[in-house]
Amino acid sequence: MLKEERQRLILDALRSNRHVTVADLSRQFDVSEVTIRRDLRELHAQGALRRAHGGAIAATPAPLEPPVVQRMLQMEQCKASIGRAAAALVADGESVFIGSGSTTAYVARNLVDRKNLVVITNALTVATELASAPGVTVVVTGGMMRASELSLIGHIAEQALREVRVDKVIIGIPAISLEAGLTNDYLPEVMTDRKIIEMSPHLIVVADHTKFGRVASAYLAPLELVEILVTDSGADPEMVALFEQVGIHVIIAETEE
């Protein structure tokens, strides 16, 4: 049996059972456990499944997310640590775009003491965090408001994005996988997100470990466009190593006690 056929059958078994073991697969396909482990590593790297002790489980699809104001209270310590680490990548005198999302709001919260900083955003949460920062000039795009995200999207936002240039782009993402790249769960936002990603060659993604291995319905961009990924200490070291293998610099933000 060809490797590709064997791996397809492994995924078929996962769709039926949600869990497979190395020992069972070895007997089923009459190959060594070493071969099966190699298959599972490759499928894991593609985002098609998730490794587990003694076998594998089905890849977790990205769930529908609650509104941003609720998400800011979820995994608060992880997001706060990611926000501090990502903000440390922004220097005085720079211009930076910060996208919408619960984690990006924590990035903005850690930029209030910067001097001569320009922040462009389509997120009302980000603008609010920085509204009273004396050394920060805040530029908010126009556009149609997505109420659950408190973000501005659509044609007007995209037109505004064409008029500005930034040193860095910082975005959050609901789903990131080695096979599917960056994906989102809200189709009307895709074109706006793509315009944001195109704004700078220096793309920083902030995502806690629960976003890893997930695939949402709308494709945004390949992983190769990501320069830096900032995540938390709960990230699977194997997944981190795989991201680094495709050229992404991964920063693990340590949570403060």
Instruction: Kindly state the average pLDDT of the residues 210-222.
Output: 86
Axis crossing angle, helix 3-17 with helix 22-29, rounded to the nearest 10: 130
Domain map (residue ranges) of the chain? 3-58, 68-253
Whether the pLDDT of residue 73 is over 60: the answer is yes
pLDDT, residue 50, reads: 77
Element (H, E) at 52: strand 49-52
Per-residue pLDDT of 91-137, as tens digits, reads 999 999 999 999 999 999 999 999 999 999 999 999 999 999 999 99
70-104: burial string, b at 16+ Cβ within 10 Å, e else = ebbeebeebbbbbbbbbbebbeeeebbbbbbbbbb
Q: Share the mean pLDDT of the chain.
A: 90
CATH 3.40.109 fits 3-58, yes or no: no
Axis crossing angle, helix 237-245 with helix 33-45, rounded to the nearest 10: 70
Question: Which numeric CATH code is attached to 68-253?
Answer: 3.40.50.1360
Cβ atoms within 10 A of the Cβ of 237, count? 8
pTM for the whole structure: 0.75
Q: Are 3-58 and 68-253 equal in CATH topology?
A: no
